Structure 1
Amino acid sequence: MFEFPLDGSYNARGIGDETAPWLVRSATLDDLSTEGERALRERGVDLVIDLREASEHRARRHSLAVRSLPLYGERPPASGTLETIYRGLIRDRAPQLTAAVIAIAEHPGTAIVHCTAGKDRTGLVVALARLAAGEPRDDVIDDYSRSGISVRPARRALVAEQLDALGLTAGSRADAERLHLDSPAEALAAALDLVERQGGASAYLVRHGARFEHLTALGRRASEAAAARALPTASALPTASARFAADPEPAR
């Protein structure tokens, strides 16, 4: 997993090799600039999987292909706890979560997944895809937990304005701020524990519409990305002259 700046968006991370990730995640791409689009295309990204509801969309500035796969089926919750909302998504929106993972698996290129902040809906879809691909749970949770670092400064003022209008109690306000701004490891861990109780990510996805070939495709991409990372770069490979300088006497 690696972070990279994305002009016109934020909270962008790639999974796999830095030059050719097998999956990318970010916050909304509506304002993605020409430079930002170029940065994605240079990493092989040629499909956007947008998890937002239609009511959240604005005019897009980029020309990447987009698949709209809304998760909630209604306006996203404005308040509540992360754990409760994640539990509801895992329990009640399993077909929608699975459809997003299938879209990642079926796309022959590299997809970027986003919602509004790239934290919650994106976090669950990316976690399920990575776990089904065989990647370590600790790595998946570490990736998720990094979102708050980018999201909080980007959204603090907007969220404060939105929550002011709701007139929440102090406790409910704190929960809502955490919902909109933070990505604590324990929140995703609790959601993944629920998935584990249903047999794990692969079994959960198959139960709700994924097929064996989808899981195989995810695993293959993750394995290829791991192999690419393990290869030395061209600059790290010794040249013939360097090898000769290190061992000038030819073998006899």
Structure 2
Amino acid sequence: MSGITIDGTYNARWAILSPGVAPWLARTASLDSVSTAGATQIADLGFALVLDLREDGERALPVHGVPVTHVPLFRLPDGPPASGSLERLYEFLLVERAPQLTEAVAAIADSSGPVLVHCTAGKDRTGLVVALALLAAGHEETDVVADYALSAGVVRAERQAIAEATLLPMNLDAADHAASLRLHLDSPAEAMQHALRTLSALGGAEAFLIRNGLRAEQLQALRRSLGRPIDD
């Protein structure tokens, strides 16, 4: 089973598990409200690094003892987009924030042990970074999409009221409101499939990452850690 329990958060799981390979990459929602028991669970799971993809204004002081690498992805004056479509959001990150995505993947590659990646809900920023790492390590697109889609339902149950309150003062029409709720709450397979088509048009995961600064030895490290044998 890929699910893991961390008290005080949700949407926590190992990414794709490879037979015979120790778990290395996990994903979750924000760790800001993790309890003392949750902090102990994080330690017991053996994480060497927490990778936080949120903006400065979204973060609180860590309540666990694991080293944190902070790679904010959006870097927009008003913080993360609050409305719009998932597909446009992923296009923006892949096209306009390629160096930041690559920096995050490089942090995973450079870690001395298992990595726990998170943003706020653990589905969009986290989903793209985890997808890039898995694809670079040689995992199939269908498996990457399936891993992403596991957030469906979990996030909605936790954040429905928050999303509704965020959108209420924006006075969106029905179509934009529905799209924006989907942005906040859903992780449909077709959204990641759209992102992967965008990535393909940019040359694919490996070329994308190398072009934006990932080193060959970091690519090899991803393959060792995430389960793909290295070609001779």
**Above 0.5 in TM-score?**
yes
Partners of 1:136 and 1:67 in 2: CA distance: 27
Flag the structure with larger Rg. 1
1:123 paired with 2:109, answer no
What is the identity, as a one-letter code, of the residue corresponding to 1:161? A
Q: 1:189 and 1:49 mapped to 2: Cα distance?
A: 24
1:99 and 1:11 map into 2 onto residues whose CA distance is 23
Aligned to 2:64: 62
TM-score (norm 2): 0.92
> TM-score, length-normalised on structure 1?
0.85
In 1, Cα distance between equivalents of 2:62 and 2:42: 15
Structure 2 distance, partners of 1:188, 1:17, is 21
**Do the aligned partners of 1:30 and 1:58 also contact (CA within 8 Å) in 2?**
yes
Asked whether the 8 Å contact 1:52–1:116 carries over to 2, the reply is yes
Answer with 148-157 or 38-47: which moved more.
Answer: 38-47
RMSD: 1.7
| The one of 172, 188, 204 aligned to 1:168 | 172
Q: Secondary structure at the match of 2:101?
A: helix
Displaced runs of 4 or more, over 4 A: 17-20
Cα distance in 1, alignment partners of residues 228 and 2 from structure 2: 16
Higher relative contact order (CA 8 A, sep 6+): 2
Q: Does the Cα contact within 8 Å between 2:7 and 2:35 map onto a contact in 1?
A: yes
Aligned to 1:151: 155
CA contact (8 A) 1:25 1:113 kept: yes
Task: State how 1:67-216 maps to structure 2 within 5 Å.
Answer: 67-74=69-76, 75-216=79-220
> Secondary structure of 1:191's partner?
helix
1:199 is displaced (CA, Å) by 2.0
Taking a change above 3 Å as real, the CA distance of residues 224 and 135 of structure 1, as seen in their structure-2 partners, is: closer
SS of 1:155's equivalent? Answer: helix
Secondary structure, aligned partner of 2:117: strand
Aligned pair count reads 225
Mapped to 1, the partners of 2:31 and 2:18 lie a distance apart of 22
CA drift at 1:43: 2.2
The runs of 5 or more residues in structure 2 that have no matched partner are: none
Q: Is the 8 A contact 2:123 2:151 kept in 1?
A: yes
User: 1:79·1:176 contact (CA, 8 Å) conserved in 2?
Assistant: yes
Q: Secondary structure at the match of 2:68?
A: strand
- Cα displacement (A) at 1:149: 1.9
1:7 aligns with: 7
- Counterpart secondary structure, 1:147: coil
Do the aligned partners of residues 65 and 174 (structure 1) sit closer, same or farther apart at CA in structure 2, a change above 3 Å counting? same
Q: Which residue of 2 aligns with 1:245?
A: none
Instruction: Give the match's secondary structure for 2:196.
Output: helix
Instruction: Write the mapping of 1:13-32 to structure 2, written as runs, cut at 5 A.
Output: 13-15=13-15, 16=17, 20-32=22-34
- Percent identity over paired residues: 49
Q: Which structure 1 segments of 5+ residues have no match? A: 226-252
Q: Is the 8 A contact 1:28 1:115 kept in 2?
A: yes
Q: CA deviation at 1:34?
A: 2.1
